[in-house]
Amino acid sequence: MPSRERSAKAGAKAPAASATSKKSSGAKRPKAKSKEKGSRPGQRNRPAATSGVVPSPPTPDGAVKVTFLGGLNEIGRNCACVEVDGKILLIDCGLMFPDMDMLGIDLVLPDFEYLRQNADNIVGCICTHGHEDHTGALSFLLRELSFPIFGSALTLGLARNRIEEAGLSSRTEFNVVKDGERRQIGPFDCEFIPVTHSVPHGFATAIRTPQGVIMHSGDWKLDLTPVDGRLTDLTRMGSIADQEGVRLLLADSTNACEKGHSRSESTVGKVLYDLFHEFEGQRIITTCFASHVHRVQQIADAAIAFDRTIATMGLSMKKNVKLARELGLLDIPESRLRDIAEVKDVDPAKLLVISTGSQGEPMSALSLMAANENKFLTLTEGDVVIMSSHPIPGNEANVTKVIDGLTRIGVEVIHSGIEDVHATGHAKKEECKTLLSITEPEWFVPVHGEYHHMAAHARLGRQMGVPEDQVLVCEDGDQLIIDDDGITRYPKAVPAGYLYVDGIVGDVSDGVLRDRRVLAEEGVVVVIVGVDVTSGAIITGPEIITRGWVYAPEAEDLLDQCAEEVRGSIKEAFQNDATDIETLQRHVRRAAGRFVAANTKRRPMIVPVIMEA
């Protein structure tokens, strides 16, 4: 059984709340005490996804489970599930883009093993908003499981693109929910509360359970002047807190370390307008997230104000603009749009291109332009590129490389370090405190962020009056049991390793990644020897082949010395009556390894190849 952290209740027990009662066991419940056994800083180098029987803590009658499969101690892979009476409701199912040391990896997914073993019990997945770190793993999970998906029309439209590309539309149902709607999903009474984020039509979710209301903030911010006028509904959150109480708050921690309030998205529009005025008469290329519909709208508004033709570049940008226009979320006249393949006859001074590639992705449209390899557009001196975004942590090097490439061409690059061309979509400190003040949660678990983000958010929770022992900093794989006595935390109760995608899913283990790192950092030395084990003679070799250790044409003497060292070790093995290939391989590996380390202070991968005559 996993180790257990138990919350003992101070005072008499309160009865379990009904999902339909007006006054559930939320903030009004007598405070429970928890005894947390230390929040452990998470390790980023996690084990790969596992398979096998998943141990599950016992669940008392009437209790509720919350399990974290991703999104804690990282940016991405957001995935959690709430469990009532054996039925599971997923909250998001996202992917993560690989770190630089994940060589050859395309994507990183949550470990699905817990979900596989409870496949028949999954009643649905709530997608809080349309970013891929919250929806992108659905097109992989649906290959094995089948369940309905719930979200706004835009969120489901963005998720549908990937799911249809994977040919999995028949394995799910797309259920559109509207602002303020309540929907019964299995045993879960869910209310969808509008919040503002960088992608439109995101939701916070109030999930009514037998143990009170679990409120999940989704990704959110307080924007009092949003582009579409759709505000974060703090009034409804406060009403739920006052009438029912919030038993557990799960809230976005991404910007919990940042002082003050986030800027309104609408302030970016004024900056963009001024830039279009400053660079009137020059070709302008802008880049932003393809899902950032409000940013695209403000870019288009500035272009139209200066009588420019608009073209999109990049498949995701083209698809998302088409979808947003169909849903009435993007207002760009058809007469202003031109296909990127047909812009050669457009006066460059009257052209705006909205491109993908804001994160410096190697094969994105902007990266290809920076390398002069884009088939639609060749940048020249005098062009202007406005990067209306901010690098995601880990992408800084790629973005800098693109900026350098553009600058070498003679392009003027405007980015968020120069002008205020980007506004975050995540709540900062004062907004986080506002949410805690309004919802008055009995228990608080920061989610969505690196460990230091969640730790900072936990401090804000304590400042705002949540008892210290009722603020839990969890990690992926942790499971919470909510019952009448409080909340019990089971650290690492379920597998939550990385599921790597390299062409196909789950074909890469931690061992493969370690080998790739050794090859990338130290190189490889292959030693080929032909032997006759019967006579104990070396027939051919040793031949030394190397990549990444030394440059062979310039190191022939070193390679010859290495071969002599290996030859001597093999002869010694034969003198000691070694006749099996494994023993000879071990002698070759040790001899070559000692020689390489002694002469170059390096540790490349040594691959012995023994060919028997």
Catalytic residues: 252, 426
Q: Strands of 253-308 (E only): list them.
A: 284-287
Q: Are 185 and 177 in contact (CB under 8 A)?
A: no
Is the bond preceding residue 542 a cis peptide, omega within 30 degrees? yes
Q: Which residues of 256-281 are buried (b: 16+ CB within 10 A; e: fewer)?
A: bbbeebbebbbebbebbbebbeebee
Pseudo-torsion of CA 543, 546, 549, 553, nearest 10°?
Answer: 80
Q: What is the DSSP letter of 285?
A: E
280: Cβ–Cβ under 8 A, 6 or more apart, which residues? 306, 349
Give, in order, the Cα–Cα distances in Å from 107 to each of 149, 475, 499, 545: 22, 20, 8, 33
Would you give the distance in Å from CA 509 to the centre of its chain?
19
Q: Are 571 and 538 in contact (CB under 8 A)?
A: yes
Q: Which residues of 187-223 are buried (b: 16+ CB within 10 A; e: fewer)?
A: bbbbbbbbbbbbbbbbbbbbbbbbbbbbbbbbbbbbb
The enclosing H or E element of 322 equals helix 315-326
Q: How far apart are CA 518 and CA 465, in angstroms?
A: 49
Residue type, 257: C
Q: How far apart are CA 233 and CA 237, in angstroms?
A: 7
Q: Quickly tell me which residue has 């141990």 as its tokens.
A: 55
The enclosing H or E element of 401 equals helix 396-409
Would you give the distance in Å from CA 327 to the centre of its chain?
26
Closest CA to 62 of 13, 100, 123, 108: 13
Residue 383 CB neighbours (<10 A): 23
Would you give the distance in Å from CA 586 to the centre of its chain?
42
Q: Are 593 and 522 in contact (CB under 8 A)?
A: no
